[in-house]
Amino acid sequence: MSDRVTHLIHHPYQPPAGFEAPQPGVFKASTVIFANVAAMRARDWKHKHGYTYGLHGTPTTFQLEERIATLEGGGQCLLVPSGLAALAHVNLSLLASGDEVLVPDNAYGPLKALAQAELARWGITHQKYDPMDPQDLAARLGPRTRLVWLEAPGSVTMEFPPLARLAAACRERGITTALDNTWGAGLAFNGFEGGGADIVVQALTKYPSGGGDVLMGSVVTRDEALHLRLRETHMHMGWGVGANDAEAVLRSLPTLELRYRAQDASARELARWFSARGEAAQVLHPALEGSPGHEHWRELCGPQGLAAGLFSVLFRPDLEPRRVDAFCDALRLFRLGYSWGGPVSLAVPYELSSMRSADLGTGRWRGVLVRFSVGLESRADLQDDLAQALRALA
Ligand SMILES: *Cc1c(COP(=O)(O)O)cnc(C)c1O
């Protein structure tokens, strides 16, 4: 091996064993090298006994999978390129033509869009159910129901459902449940024990990443057979995540709880402050008394329990949408943008009537709502920002 160019590729140097540092290494690979043909033939991608190909995992992604499984209180984890991909993945893995899936009416919007478009096109029907009413869910479960989605609290309107009762109604009939646990982040409650779900999904994009700079999703299970079902489709679909992105999440995990608690404390204080203002018809935050499903949040998360740093303000009906838009435009520290869990506070206005089914209990939602995601800025500065922007409403 005398040619220096070949040497750049086939260098004999081996790093000494025994290097240890707090942060795991970043292992990037499509190709994984086998010692011989027998090793190549023997290696099985289904289990973590060894490495076969970058798409099936590297030390970096295996490490993140193990930590997210532990965070959620589960046994196995799959990583996918976004939170939405995690929702899609569970549907694709478990549903076939002729099956039906049930989705809460206040679910993360793109999950409903997936059901309405692709799932319908593939002959999979869906129904929406009222997440606050276990009887409504139970009445909709039928012989074709294969999967029921759960989410706590609901996206945007933040109603906290009686999660364990919804899951129990499904378990009684042997129907698999999947919980979108992005809000709880594995911290506010245990999705398996408290929530009663079979599959717990999270958008790692939010709190686990914490930087507003990574897109990733996780699918966690406790049942090995269910995991292998999901893993097989994962393999067939070619889902994979980049090692640098996995490392970015691994780097943020040690501060997850600190950030979650800090953002929770700020959000609650700002939500209470907003409740005392005249502009709000209602402030929606599950830890605030009077917010829909507050008692369910208390039951599941505990009276001193945690909550994500999110709240929504439903503005008085006489405050026209264009004035609420002007309020949003006047915000300076709160930036206009989607997602949450990062250091920067964000606001998004929503017109509610288009987001709910008229024939369900949730159809009563009307008006303009602004969803706030509280970042890590000084709480006093954020409150001053809201106060100055509210003058644009006047
Ligand atoms: C953001 C979010 C998702 C999707 O995550 P992405 O990584 O943005 O695709 C799914 N569910 C909930 C509840 C979310 O907030």
Residue 363 scores a pLDDT above 80: no
Contact between residue 270 and residue 390 where contact means Cβ atoms under 8 Å apart:
no
- Convert the pLDDT of each residue in 150-209 to its tens digit: 999 998 999 999 999 999 999 999 999 999 999 999 999 999 999 999 999 999 999 999
Domain count, the chain: 2
Separation between Cα atoms, residue 313 and residue 273, nearest integer Å? 11
**Do 373 and 267 share a structural domain?**
yes
Domain boundary among 254, 272, 294: 254
Q: Give me the domain span that covers residue 180.
A: 59-254
In a domain, 25, yes or no: no
In a domain, 319, yes or no: yes
In a domain, 8, yes or no: no
**Do 337 and 246 share a structural domain?**
no
Q: What is the CATH number of the domain that holds 166?
A: 3.40.640.10
Q: Is the CB of 362 under 6 A from ligand 1?
A: no
Considering only residues 273 and 355, tell me which one the structure prediction assigns the higher pLDDT.
Answer: 273
In a domain, 382, yes or no: yes
Ligand 1 atom 4 nearest Cα: 83
**Do 201 and 141 share a structural domain?**
yes
In a domain, 47, yes or no: no
**Do 211 and 68 share a structural domain?**
yes
In a domain, 288, yes or no: yes
Q: Is the CB of 230 under 6 A from ligand 1?
A: no
- Convert the pLDDT of each residue in 97-130 to its tens digit: 999 999 999 999 999 999 999 999 999 999 999 9
**Do 135 and 168 share a structural domain?**
yes
Per-residue confidence (pLDDT) for residue 4, from 0 to 100: 83
Please state, for a pLDDT cut of 70, what percent of the chain lies above it. 98
**Do 226 and 189 share a structural domain?**
yes
In a domain, 188, yes or no: yes
**Do 267 and 250 share a structural domain?**
no
Q: Which atom of ligand 1 is nearest to the CA of 84?
A: 9
Domain boundary among 254, 282, 315: 254
H/E element, 178: strand 176-180
**Do 248 and 167 share a structural domain?**
yes
How are beta strands 346-351 and 335-336 bridged, if at all?
parallel
Q: Is the CB of 180 under 6 A from ligand 1?
A: yes
Q: What is the CATH number of the domain that holds 288?
A: 3.90.1150.10
**Do 211 and 76 share a structural domain?**
yes
Residue 358 scores a pLDDT above 80: no
Probe residue for ligand 1, chosen from 108, 149, 239, 371 as the CB with the greatest number of ligand atoms within 8 Å = 108
Report which of 197, 210, 207 is spatially closest to residue 171, judged by C-alpha positions.
Answer: 197
Per-residue confidence (pLDDT) for residue 367, from 0 to 100: 80
In a domain, 112, yes or no: yes
**Do 180 and 83 share a structural domain?**
yes
Per-residue confidence (pLDDT) for residue 141, from 0 to 100: 98
**Do 266 and 201 share a structural domain?**
no
Q: What are the DSSP calls for 192-207, one per residue? A: TTTT--SEEEEETTTT
Q: Which atom of ligand 1 is nearest to the CA of 82?
A: 7
**Do 276 and 193 share a structural domain?**
no
Distance of CA 204 to the CA centre of its chain: 6
Q: Is the CB of 81 under 6 A from ligand 1?
A: no
Q: Which atom of ligand 1 is nearest to the CA of 206?
A: 1
Backbone angles phi, psi at 239, to 5 degrees: -65, 140
